[in-house]
Amino acid sequence: MSVYQKNELEEDETSRTLSLIVDNQPGTLARVIGLFSGRGYNIESLNVTEIDEIRNLSRISLVTRGTSNTIEQIKSQLLRIVPVHIVRDLTLEGPFIKSELALVKLVVKGANRVEALRIAETFRARTLDVTLSSFVFELTGKPSKLDAFIDLMRSLGDTEVSRTGVSAISRGDKTETKLLDQI
């Protein structure tokens, strides 16, 4: 928004999940991130990995926040970046799945160990590492589920958290194959 204008009817900001198909080459991620920092947009979560080795493509799953005007700008600006091929707005397209993985280390002794394991079981977290004074749990699911689990673990002891950021995909039988073939 320009400095000349304070929008009187400031619309509510909402969270949006974008899914980008980009060339897997150095500099692409830097351009995407540079766009967000340079133009003052928010990034809530970002996740990027190669998804097509033959065509050398990566997917960036990105959660951002803004008014609908800002989101439209973000999408148009992203499409100007040469190695960005597809920008999908999953939130707008329809039902979609958002999933994230967290690794949570909990340092805990005594009675709280049993409580930790019980909570982990309720959340269907896997226990990846055990010592007499600690656990490492692995949990996947919606970010809100991960938040709840991490909050509970924090109340039991010293924690260390590593999260992947959101991965997202649309529900149903629609795929990007046709779009990808045009690249």
Partner 1 sequence: MTLNYMTGAEAVIKALVDNGVEVIFGYPGGAVLPLYDALFENKKIKHILVRHEQAAVHAAEGYARSTGKVGCVLVTSGPGATNAITGLTDALMDSVPVICLSGQVPTHLIGTDAFQEADTTGISRPCTKHNYLVKNADKLCEIIHKSFEIASSGRPGPVLIDLPKDIQLTNVKYIKKLQKIKKHNHYHSNVDEVLINKVAKLLLQAERPIIYAGGGVVNSGPKASKLLTELVNLLDCPVTLTLMGLGCVPNTNKNFLGMLGMHGTYEANLAMHNCDVMLNVGARFDDRVTGRLNAFAPNSKKVHIDVDKSSINKVVSVDYGIVGDCKEILSVLVQEVKKLHNQKVLKLKTKWWSQINKWKEKDSLGFKQIGNNIKPQQAIKSLYEKTIDFDTYITTEVGQHQMWAAQYFGFSKPNRWMTSGGLGTMGYGLPSSVGVQIAHPKSLVIDISGEASFLMNMQELSTIVQYKLPIKIFILNNEWMGMVRQWQELNHGSRYSESYTSSLPDFVKLAESFGITGLRVDNIHNLEATIDEIININGPVIADIRVEKEENCFPMIPSGAAHNEMILNSDDNVKDTSNEGLALV
Instruction: Please report whether residue 8 would count as binding partner 1 according to CB under 8 A.
Output: yes
Per-residue mark of binding to partner 1, 22-41 (x: CB under 8 A): ----xx--xx--x---x---
Per-residue mark of binding to partner 1, 71-100 (x: CB under 8 A): -xx--xx-xxxxx-x---------------
Minimum distance, C-beta of residue 124 to partner 1, in the bound complex (Å): 42
Q: Which is nearer to partner 1, 173 or 181 (CB)?
A: 181
Q: What angle do CA 114, 117, 119 make, to 5 degrees?
A: 110
Minimum distance, C-beta of residue 94 to partner 1, in the bound complex (Å): 22
CA–CA separation, 71 vs 14, rounded Å?
9
Minimum distance, C-beta of residue 7 to partner 1, in the bound complex (Å): 8
Select from 14, 42, 56, 69 the one that contacts partner 1 (CB under 8 A): 69
Task: Say how many C-beta atoms besides its own lie within 10 A of residue 26's C-beta.
Answer: 7
Q: Which of 31, 21, 100, 36 is nearest to 66 (CA)?
A: 36
Minimum distance, C-beta of residue 175 to partner 1, in the bound complex (Å): 19
Instruction: Please report whether residue 107 would count as binding partner 1 according to CB under 8 A.
Output: no
Torsion, CA 80, CA 86, CA 90, CA 94, rounded to 10: 120
Complete DSSP assignment for 87-130: EEEHHHHS-EEEEEEEEEEEE--TTHHHHHHHHHHHTTPEEEEE
